[in-house]
Structure 1
């Protein structure tokens, strides 16, 4: 987002604060939106109970700091944000926030609620010095469709409030299979006429992907085929920007691999293939085995808990294939878990358009305020809000992307797909928009952008082009012009 548009949204909020200065509730909301503009993007991790939300969140952060058991903390909305020193703050539904003690058990972080009941806690905020949290604030939410209506309500009320924008700018939604309840939730999070969340801003994750292939080495390939089928499903396509299979347990453990894990896997890799395959036929057989020598029952149990049979099989095969050093093995396991493609999608679809998503949330909040609490003297705010929404090209791209994904546009499938890519539907980076790799030299990106600009100007001028498609042409053309202008300026600077 351009600096002028960011500044314009911030100025609009300051004007609104002046108009609503005598309303403490409105002032608090407006100040929160203004602060949100300068904070990292907020991405919620949601899904049904036992979908693996906390496990995946740990994998994204790169440390095991989110509790993955079935304790009280899994029933509380928990924020993970960057902090120079570790700190956990409990915000009760009633009363003042307080700092919580915490401890590590077997390397994992354990929250000590100090007698507080989950139902009495509004949220936990975990500040942690992790690089993975510098540009993203991650929000762990209780399971949707829980047997406990109270638990499900916590997630639904937080992510899809009835009278305000969602506190999450985007969402990573985990599902083991595509159920009607998944679609209903994503539908409620998607942009509506009232503009709750701004656009199609969800990614779907086919979680616990290794279970799809019963823990076989090729499980992720089978899961990839299913994810591709889901991605093309019309019902899901209009609600999510992509579908990625991830073996969450493997991703988490690979990102936090211990030397003891590596040594245990190395011992297993020394067995001959037939003996190893018999050993890994089932969890019971693996736990009861007496080979290889030196692998204790405790070490077996730890490996199984942290990696599952799929991760153990894959780790052993990789060690025998030459990944015989802990760091290299950990990186390869993380890559094979499906985590890297997910992180790439998060970067391309969310982080690259973070400013637009945050500004859109602020404008939606202001729009709701003007509608629900009309105020004399707010006419200028309404005009300013409408001007920003209409003129900011980033917002026009988001609206068009939502249209393409939902109702469709009156152009051929080839042009519709091209339009989606050029406005950032596959990723906001210029190279990705024009169908090239992100590391492509600038002069090649410029040449390709000029080619697309010429093509879409021709489409717009063609008398056979449906008049309803002209707005699409204008938005796509403007996107191409932006890339051409940016890379032409770079070219001039180099001369």
Structure 2
């Protein structure tokens, strides 16, 4: 994100405040968007009921602070922000906010609504000193396509409001299978108006992947194949940057591995393979099993609740094959759950573009304000909005990425694929844009950027290139120039240090 684009978004808000300063509601909203520019990126976690949203949120944060049962709190939009002191604030639909007591049961945070019905709560705000929340604010939303229309409507209104920008800058959308309702939601979250590309602010997660193969040890391999097939589906490809398979329950438990869990898994690892396989045929069989004798029924139930049959199988195999300590085991379970790949995608697709996504939200908000509250004297504001949209290269990249993933461009398939990569379709980092190894040195990356720049200049100047594709070439050329400019700036900074 270039400083000029960030400044342009902030300047746009100031100009809008001059025009709408006498409109209390509009002015307050604009000041809120100004604050959003300085806040961490807002990422909502959405999906159907029982898709595993809260469980995945706990895994990302690394603590069990989001309720995963089917209680009242799962019907409320809940914000998780970084705070130095743990605090839960209830914001009612009417009335003043108030703090809720902090309660933990078996290590899990429990929300006590103090007699307030879920329908009376606008949102819950949870401040928590988790390192993961320093870079992003996570928003847990009620299930879409819920049996309760009110619950579904709450999520839809929050994520895709009719007359304002979404409260979320980006979304992680969980699905167990690809249904028409999943596509409908992602379609509604994407904003196709000029200068606004939603294709870069949605990632799909194939959730609860440990259940794909009925808990078999190779379940994640099967889920990976399904996710790869979904990611190539033209209907989904235009709506999300990719599909990542994640076993959320295993990811959550790996990130919150407890010593009693590890000791119970160690006991199971002492059994021979045949005995283990017999007892792990079903949850009931495992719970009733008498082996090993030292493993209590309470411990068995806890393992099933926290890891499931798949997680128990995998953990025991890992312990027997070189992971005899809790910390290395937890890291390997998290990696195998699919959480690490998801965190990498979040980093390269969302965090690397955080400023651009937040600025995009500001542009959407000002555009909606002009449409919904027209008045005299807004011509200059509309012109400023158009100017920021047109001049910021980040937004040109977003528009081209949308075009490449929907209607396509008039280029050979291999050139179109390279264009998508160079404008950041796989991530905004230079190595990802250039298709190079992450540990490639700056000289190697700069040389490849120069080669790409020369090639795309030739494509742009070729008489065989269709006129409609020339603008695509210009955007790609500017992206290559941007990569080289970044390297030059780093060199200059290093020399002056």
Shorter-chain TM range is: over 0.9
Partner of 1:341: 341
Task: State whether residues 255 and 334 of structure 1, in contact with CA within 8 Å, keep that contact through their aligned partners in structure 2.
Answer: yes
Partner of 1:128: 128
Task: State whether residues 190 and 239 of structure 1, in contact with CA within 8 Å, keep that contact through their aligned partners in structure 2.
Answer: yes
Distance 2:172 2:56 in 1: 10
Task: State whether residues 42 and 138 of structure 2, in contact with CA within 8 Å, keep that contact through their aligned partners in structure 1.
Answer: yes
Partner of 1:139: 139
Partner of 1:206: 206
Partner of 1:18: 18
Partner of 2:393: 393
Distance 1:493 1:30 in 2: 36
Distance 2:155 2:491 in 1: 48
Task: State whether residues 197 and 399 of structure 2, in contact with CA within 8 Å, keep that contact through their aligned partners in structure 1.
Answer: no
Distance 1:118 1:194 in 2: 38
How far apart are 1:294 and its partner, in Å?
0.9
Distance 1:354 1:170 in 2: 9
Greater alpha carbon shift after TM alignment, 368-377 vs 315-324: 368-377
How far apart are 1:379 and its partner, in Å?
2.1
1:94-146 Cα shifts (integer Å, max 9, x gaps): 11111111200111000010111111111111000000100010000000000
2:324 alignment partner, SS class: coil
Partner of 1:78: 78
How far apart are 1:155 and its partner, in Å?
0.5
1:348-368 Cα shifts (integer Å, max 9, x gaps): 111100100100110110111
Task: State whether residues 198 and 357 of structure 1, in contact with CA within 8 Å, keep that contact through their aligned partners in structure 2.
Answer: no
Partner of 2:167: 167
Distance 1:472 1:268 in 2: 58
Partner of 1:435: 435
Partner of 1:234: 234
Distance 1:410 1:120 in 2: 53
Distance 1:454 1:195 in 2: 28
1:217-240 Cα shifts (integer Å, max 9, x gaps): 111000000000000000000001
How far apart are 1:72 and its partner, in Å?
0.2
How far apart are 1:488 and its partner, in Å?
2.7
Distance 2:196 2:389 in 1: 14
Task: State whether residues 165 and 197 of structure 1, in contact with CA within 8 Å, keep that contact through their aligned partners in structure 2.
Answer: no
Task: State whether residues 207 and 246 of structure 1, in contact with CA within 8 Å, keep that contact through their aligned partners in structure 2.
Answer: yes
Partner of 1:463: 463
Partner of 2:48: 48
How far apart are 1:195 and its partner, in Å?
6.5
Cα 1:309–1:146 change in 2 (3 A) is same
Greater alpha carbon shift after TM alignment, 325-334 vs 192-201: 192-201
How far apart are 1:413 and its partner, in Å?
1.0
1:188-239 Cα shifts (integer Å, max 9, x gaps): 0112227777544110000000110111111100000000000000000000
1:174 alignment partner, SS class: strand
Partner of 1:379: 379
How far apart are 1:370 and its partner, in Å?
1.5
Task: State whether residues 191 and 200 of structure 1, in contact with CA within 8 Å, keep that contact through their aligned partners in structure 2.
Answer: no
Task: State whether residues 206 and 245 of structure 1, in contact with CA within 8 Å, keep that contact through their aligned partners in structure 2.
Answer: yes
2:438 alignment partner, SS class: coil
2:168 alignment partner, SS class: coil
Runs of at least 5 residues in structure 1 that lack an aligned partner in the other structure: none
How far apart are 1:381 and its partner, in Å?
1.3
Partner of 2:314: 314
Task: State whether residues 169 and 197 of structure 1, in contact with CA within 8 Å, keep that contact through their aligned partners in structure 2.
Answer: no
Task: State whether residues 349 and 427 of structure 2, in contact with CA within 8 Å, keep that contact through their aligned partners in structure 1.
Answer: yes
How far apart are 1:494 and its partner, in Å?
4.8
Partner of 1:253: 253
Cα 1:195–1:166 change in 2 (3 A) is farther
Partner of 2:454: 454
2:290 alignment partner, SS class: coil
Runs of at least 5 residues in structure 2 that lack an aligned partner in the other structure: none
Cα 1:416–1:436 change in 2 (3 A) is same
Distance 2:56 2:493 in 1: 43
- How many residue pairs end up in the alignment? 495
Task: State whether residues 90 and 121 of structure 1, in contact with CA within 8 Å, keep that contact through their aligned partners in structure 2.
Answer: yes
Partner of 2:422: 422
How far apart are 1:20 and its partner, in Å?
1.2
Task: State whether residues 164 and 196 of structure 1, in contact with CA within 8 Å, keep that contact through their aligned partners in structure 2.
Answer: no
1:141-165 Cα shifts (integer Å, max 9, x gaps): 0000001000000011110111111
TM-score (norm 1): 0.98
1:50 alignment partner, SS class: coil
1:280-325 Cα shifts (integer Å, max 9, x gaps): 1111110001111211000000000000000000000000011110
Counting only pairs closer than 5 Å after superposition, residues 244-323 of structure 1 correspond to structure 2 as 244-323=244-323
